[in-house]
């Protein structure tokens, strides 16, 4: 990727650039400065712009964004920012770069870009340098990546390397006024998100301000190109992916000591005003920088409905919250995290239109309470671990962080104060923790061997089709592929249709239907020859119930957003015949009051007979009209999004089968809710005929209870409670009596000794009703061994100190032996009298 010739551009030639090798790192670079011998990148070149800006004008972050967008808006379509949580893809947790907005649907050619070329400024979050924030003066966890991108198709070229470099150079030199000789272009290949390409890093006075990527490769294990150990092949599309660091460009023009003074001037002043009067803020500048950076990142994440938790993106949010809380404590600030994030919104609210003050305050309030609680209990955990191992390693630190929220510096302080011991904390501790919670790279599914034939989906033409005719395009042992079908294949949490196929005089059951690309495969109990004409019959009663549950899922999701808040996001779903479930993101268990509101609102919408519309909308128009809520149920890789809209209630992309009106749902009844993991609530509900079946089942159970309790319906709860209380009282009395009987049995045992153990030899058979109490009683008697006869040819040995094999060696002619519980309980069986064997024991 770095071979000479990749960037032999006409622009470089006519502008006086020449290609050289850096004498420090060996990287090739382009420059007009004939005396330059280094590439211009750090550490080959130092930051020489601090206090010595290369531009005549200084720009704030907001001004730099406006300058960039306006400069390119005349020739590029302006695209609004995407969320920082990439709902349109499932392989990454956060948007790390502007190109993430268009991977893989645009870069793979499934959908058109929102414009061509485009210009935008995309908020991004990267956690790889989280441990360096505040220390180096230049690292951030959140930033804006500005870009001007073009997408070059075989039949439509926009601009490639020549145009990209010319645009970039013109903006830096002509618009910002940076002297040409200060701008260097360093060659360095790029890869990310499954794509790669040659690239130029654009550097000014030691600072990288722009990256120009010429993306024309896609991951392929059999590809001919290799970048950073990964194989790639050529893409049909050539994508210009530029990344202009908004904050870095503003920093370059302002020349402040660190990037934080340029990005967060008002925020830093606010934080300084909250510090104790006797404290010099400059001494604690690192902590102030951390708070300014992390609180903006949290603002962006919380505005995109991220709920802090112990999994996925929620874990990253929680980590930032805890770092902020620890820093607030360390600095002794006269404010709290809720106020700080609110101040960030006041300063930068234009970037977060979805901000909900109530949601943010609630979430942070919950997190602060958990943090304080964990700190209180965590100190004891630190002490236990240290006393056991006399040290703490990085795994211990990660475990303490995950389970108690104890930051490494806090753990170090506890260990130093209590044990006078210093522990080493890796400088990249938080980066390590983030990597542990990042999604693993998914293996690509292997082809299943079915031919890539296209099946027309009749179930989209008319969901009421019960039977159809078709031609068998391909068949094999237990499967057929048809030219068209009304059988819905499994997908989107909706099970496949079932039914049967008639071929000639044979009736063959359909047991499963799956979709692979555009091929729909029917798995059958039998075989049908290719080119056969068949008739398919759907189990329509089953299909109808699944349609009701699917449409009801959309309804209840939309209603829960109304009742619980806009932060609610579908996290998983499964439709069944007898019930349906939906998992949603929510920070608290759903109350009975909330359930009543949800059911009442669902019934109201059902009674209004609202239309359920299905439409196929071009990808970008769908996002522009409906927003990213479209991707509640997954990400379609297609040029169009199949949009299902319940008028005024819910709209999302969906490939399932649906009703025409909400009135066909009939009723929605929530039957249970539970927390399945932190921040995720599961709601199980029934609708339509399934609701009636559920009601009838409950009524049947109630009649059984009425018969058992001999009471009226309305008296069943009180009568059952009385019966349970009586039963519990009787059970307690039984346990008391059994323990008294056991006391008498043990008191009547013969005392002996074996080695260092006292032995109790039971007299007579151990009554069956107290055998379950005998073992735990003896195990609780330190140093005691008990032998109790439980039958003519069986006895048990219980030892509270182990060593059973040695004791049993004294019993001759042992026939059968079971030892369990770490040599603490044994059962011995023999054909001879057990009592005779016990009498032969010789205790020493």
Q: What is the pLDDT of residues 631-655, one digit of tens each?
A: 987 777 788 999 999 999 999 999 9
pLDDT of residue 115: 96
The closest of 837, 816, 838 to 827, measured between CA atoms, is 816
For residues 360-377, give the mean pLDDT.
90
Q: pLDDT per residue over 683-721, tens digit each?
A: 999 999 999 999 888 888 888 888 888 888 888 888 889
What would the DSSP string read from start to end of 415-446? HHHHH-------TTHHHHHHHHTSPPPPPPPP
Q: Is 710 exposed, middle or buried (0-12, 13-18, 19+ CB in 10 A)?
A: exposed
Residue 775: pLDDT band (50, 70, 90) is confident
**Mean pLDDT value across residues 411-425:** 79
Q: Determine the pLDDT at residue 844.
A: 39
- Alpha carbon distances (Å) from 334 to 274, 326, 329, 346, 372: 5, 14, 10, 19, 17
What is d(CA 218, CA 234) in angstroms, rounded to the nearest whole number?
A: 6
Q: Which helix (H) or strand (E) holds 144?
A: strand 142-152
d(CA 622, CA 834): 82
Contact 734, 773 (CB under 8 A): no
| Per-residue model confidence as pLDDT tens digits over 40-69 | 999 999 999 999 999 999 999 999 999 999
816 pLDDT band, cuts 50/70/90, is low
Residue 756 has pLDDT above 70, yes or no: no
Token pair 């609530």 in the structure block, residue: 681
Task: Evaluate whether 674 touches 529 at the Cβ level (below 8 Å).
Answer: no
Q: Return left, alpha or beta for 305; rule: phi > 0 is left, psi -120 to 50 is alpha, else beta.
A: left
Residue 272 reports pLDDT greater than 70? yes
Neighbours of 622 (CB within 10 A): 21
The chain-wide mean pLDDT, for the chain, equals: 90
Residue 413 near residue 448 (C-beta atoms within 8 A)? no
Helix (H, G, I), strand (E, B) or coil at 807: helix
pLDDT at 400: 80
Q: What is the pLDDT, as a whole number, of residue 1?
A: 44
141/33 Cα distance (integer angstroms): 34
Inform me whether the pLDDT recorded for 426 exceeds 60.
yes
pLDDT for res 154: 93
How confident is the model over 326-367, as pLDDT tens digits? Answer: 999 999 999 999 999 999 999 988 889 889 999 999 999 999
Burial group, residue 478, by CB count within 10 angstroms (0-12, 13-18, 19+)? middle
Please determine, for residue 553, whether its predicted confidence score (pLDDT) is greater than 90: yes
- CA-CA distances (angstroms) from residue 781 to 93, 448, 776, 801? 54, 62, 9, 9
Neighbours of 43 (CB within 10 A): 10
Model-level pTM?
A: 0.83
CA distance 766 to 834: 13
Q: Is pLDDT larger for residue 708 or for residue 593?
A: 593
């Amino acid at each position: 990727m770095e071979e000479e010739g990749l960037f032999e551009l006409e622009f470089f030639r006519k502008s006086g650039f020449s290609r050289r090798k850096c004498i420090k790192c060996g990287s090739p670079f382009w420059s007009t400065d004939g005396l330059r011998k280094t590439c211009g990148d750090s550490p080959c070149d130092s930051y020489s712009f601090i206090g010595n800006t290369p531009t005549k004008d200084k720009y704030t972050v907001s001004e730099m964004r406006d300058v960039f967008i306006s400069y390119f808006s005349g020739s590029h379509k302006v695209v609004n920012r995407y969320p920082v949580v990439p709902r349109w893809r499932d392989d990454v947790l956060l948007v790390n770069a502007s190109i993430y907005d268009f991977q893989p649907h645009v870069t793979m050619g499934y959908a058109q870009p929102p414009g061509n070329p485009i210009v935008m400024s995309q908020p991004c979050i990267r956690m790889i340098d989280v441990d360096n924030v505040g220390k180096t003066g230049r690292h951030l966890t959140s930033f804006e990546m500005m870009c001007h991108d073009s997408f070059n198709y075989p039949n439509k070229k926009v601009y490639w390397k020549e145009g990209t470099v010319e645009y970039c150079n013109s903006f830096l030199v002509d618009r910002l006024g940076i002297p040409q000789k200060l701008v260097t272009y360093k060659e360095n290949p790029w890869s990310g998100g499954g794509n790669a390409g040659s690239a130029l890093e654009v550097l000014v006075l030691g600072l990288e301000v722009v990256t120009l990527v010429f993306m024309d490769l896609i991951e392929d294990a059999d590809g001919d190109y290799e970048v950073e150990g990964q194989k790639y092949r050529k893409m049909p599309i050539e994508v210009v992916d530029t990344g202009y660091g908004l904050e870095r460009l503003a920093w370059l023009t302002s020349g402040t000591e660190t990037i934080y003074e340029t990005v967060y001037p008002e925020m830093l002043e606010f934080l300084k005003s909250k510090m104790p009067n006797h404290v010099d803020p400059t001494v604690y500048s690192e902590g102030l920088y951390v708070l300014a950076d992390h609180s903006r990142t949290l603002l962006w994440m919380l505005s995109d409905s991220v709920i802090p938790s112990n999994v996925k993106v929620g874990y990253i949010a929680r980590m930032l919250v805890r770092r902020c809380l620890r820093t607030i404590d360390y600095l002794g600030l006269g404010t709290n995290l809720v106020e700080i994030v609110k101040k960030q919104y006041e300063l930068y609210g234009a970037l977060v239109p979805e901000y909900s003050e109530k949601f943010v305050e609630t979430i942070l309030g919950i997190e602060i309470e958990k943090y304080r609680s964990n700190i209180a209990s965590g100190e004891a955990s630190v002490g236990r671990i240290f006393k056991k191992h006399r040290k703490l390693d990085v795994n211990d630190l990660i475990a303490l962080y995950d389970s108690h929220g104890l930051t490494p510096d806090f753990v170090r302080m506890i260990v130093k104060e209590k044990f006078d011991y210093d522990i080493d904390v890796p400088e990249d501790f938080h980066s390590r923790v983030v990597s542990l919670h990042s999604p693993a790279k998914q293996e690509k599914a292997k082809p299943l061997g079915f031919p890539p034939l296209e099946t027309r989906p009749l179930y989209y033409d008319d969901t009421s089709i019960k039977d159809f005719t078709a031609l068998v395009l391909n068949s094999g042992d237990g499967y057929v592929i048809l030219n068209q079908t009304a059988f819905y294949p499994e997908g989107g949490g909706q099970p496949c249709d079932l039914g049967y196929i008639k071929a000639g005089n044979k009736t063959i059951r359909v047991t499963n239907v799956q979709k692979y690309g555009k091929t729909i495969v029917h798995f059958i109990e039998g075989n049908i020859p290719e080119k056969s004409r068949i008739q398919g019959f759907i189990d329509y009663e089953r299909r109808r119930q699944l349609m009701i549950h699917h449409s009801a899922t959309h309804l209840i999701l939309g209603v829960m957003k109304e009742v619980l808040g806009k932060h609610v996001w579908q996290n998983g779903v499964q439709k069944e015949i007898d019930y349906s479930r939906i998992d949603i993101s929510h920070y608290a268990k759903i109350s009975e009051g909330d359930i009543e509101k949800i059911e009442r609102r669902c019934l109201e919408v059902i009674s209004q007979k609202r239309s359920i519309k299905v439409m196929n909308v071009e990808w970008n128009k769908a996002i522009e009209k409906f927003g990213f809520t479209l991707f509640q149920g997954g990400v379609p890789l297609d040029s169009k999004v199949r949009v299902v809209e319940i008028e005024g209630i819910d709209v999302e992309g969906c490939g399932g089968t649906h009703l025409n009106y909400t009135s066909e749902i009939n009723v929605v009844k929530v039957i249970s809710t539970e927390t399945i993991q932190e921040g995720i609530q599961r709601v199980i509900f029934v609708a339509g005929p399934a609701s009636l079946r559920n009601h009838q089942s409950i009524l049947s159970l109630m009649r059984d209870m009425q018969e058992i309790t001999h009471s009226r319906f309305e008296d069943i709860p009180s009568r059952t409670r009385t019966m349970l209380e009586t039963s519990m009282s009787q059970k307690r009395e039984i346990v008391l009596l059994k323990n008294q009987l056991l006391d008498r049995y043990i008191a009547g045992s013969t005392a002996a000794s074996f080695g260092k153990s006292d032995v109790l030899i039971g007299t007579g058979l151990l009554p069956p009703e107290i055998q379950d109490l005998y073992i735990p009683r003896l195990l609780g008697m330190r140093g005691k061994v008990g032998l109790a006869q439980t039958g003519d040819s069986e006895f048990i040995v219980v030892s509270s100190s182990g060593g059973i094999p040695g004791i049993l060696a004294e019993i001759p002619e042992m026939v059968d032996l079971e030892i369990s519980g770490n040599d603490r309980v044994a059962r011995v069986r023999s054909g001879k009298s057990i009592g005779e064997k016990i009498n032969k024991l010789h205790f020493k």
